[in-house]
Amino acid sequence: MRVAFQGEPGAYSEAAALEHFGSQIETQPQISFEAVFHCAESGECDMGLIPIENSLAGSIHQNYDLLLKKTLYVIGEHLMPIHHCLIALPGASLAGIRKVISHPQALAQCDGYLHTLAGVAVEPVYDTAGSVKMMRQQGDPGIAAIASRRAAELYHMAILADCIEDHPANFTRFLAIGREPATPKSDAKTSIVFSLVNQPGALFKALSVFALRDIDLTKIESRPLVGKPWEYYFYIDFIGSVSDPACERALAHLGEYASMLRVLGSYPLYKLKTD
């Protein structure tokens, strides 16, 4: 089974794909999230795994937009604790670091730590593991990258500091995407996207279809509706499967208010293992 992810080998998304699908899969690095969707849509790979939300830095909005633009189903979710390392060339010292590079999300998650490094410039690049690769190529001991311990080891680099994320409760939620919908048996979650006619109380009515049936919402996200300034697409995740009678009725009810409604997929609810 081939699974596409965004980033270089050693990226958090690759580690999540291996955890989620098992170590027997073949991971396929892609340059962008769009390329991950394209790869899964065209059949070049079987599935994709994308980050959708981080518990410190928030949603990855580009992936919300791509879920709407593309025709793939959400077939699974995966939660992974994220621990960032400050990584530099072997022999480099923390005092000598003048520039830190990494993906904007990783930089955002380490914002507090980075503020403690006086006089250090911060530069966003396309990927966490890719920032380690770039740092190695540039061969400058004044540059450090932020990425996983696994990326440091893969590129044989030194770890100057570990667990530099601003808060220990740093998790990323990933979504698995594929061409065929999943059919979860029990303990499911469903992701939908809809738009509403712009009138007072519209969102309240939309949420009533879940509240009146005791269906638990776990996430709401809004994104601009392109071409209609200050109107929005709403993305909602709720507990339950589209095949549950109450959820089915809730979605039919939502259809009465929505100007557009699409089910992105029902999939098994991920439960974090506690050791």
Instruction: Specify the amino acid at residue 45.
Output: C
Contact criterion met (CB below 8 Å) for 80 and 16 = yes
- Nearest approach in angstroms of CB 253 to a copy of itself is 13
Per rule CB under 8 A, is residue 121 in the interface with a copy of itself? no
> Residues 56, 109: contact at Cβ < 8 Å?
yes
Pick the closer one to a copy of itself by CB: 89 or 117.
117
233-252: contacts with a copy of itself (CB under 8 A)? none
For 79, how many CA atoms within 13 A lie in the half-sphere containing its CB?
11
What track of x and - describes contact with a copy of itself for positions 148 through 167 (by CB under 8 A)?
------------------xx
Restricting to residues 80-99, which ones interact with a copy of itself according to CB under 8 A? none
For a copy of itself, the binding residue among 94, 159, 180, 228 (CB under 8 A) is 228
Q: Is 169 in the site for a copy of itself (CB under 8 A)?
A: yes
Q: Give the Cα separation of 225 and 35 in Å (integer).
A: 23
Between 207 and 242, name the residue whose CB sits nearer to a copy of itself. Answer: 207
Q: Is 210 in the site for a copy of itself (CB under 8 A)?
A: yes
Write down the number of H helices and E strands in the chain.
9, 15
When binding is defined by CB under 8 A, the residue of 28, 54, 105, 131 that contacts a copy of itself is 54
- Among the listed residues 138, 218, 243, 259, the single contact to a copy of itself using CB under 8 A: 218
CB-based contact 267:260 (threshold 8 Å): no
Segment interacting with a copy of itself, rule: CB under 8 A, options 131-139, 143-151, 195-203, 262-270? 195-203
| 172 classed as catalytic | yes
Long-range contacts of 259-262 (CB under 8 A, 24+ apart): 259/194, 259/195, 259/196, 259/197, 260/193, 260/194, 260/195, 260/233, 261/192, 261/193, 261/194, 262/68, 262/192, 262/193, 262/194
Stretch binding a copy of itself (CB under 8 A), from 3-11, 49-57, 176-184, 256-264: 49-57
For 266, the enclosing helix (H) or strand (E) is: strand 258-268
The contact set with a copy of itself (CB under 8 A) reads 53-58, 61, 104, 124, 166-167, 169, 171, 173, 200-201, 203-205, 207-208, 210-211, 214-224, 226-230, 232
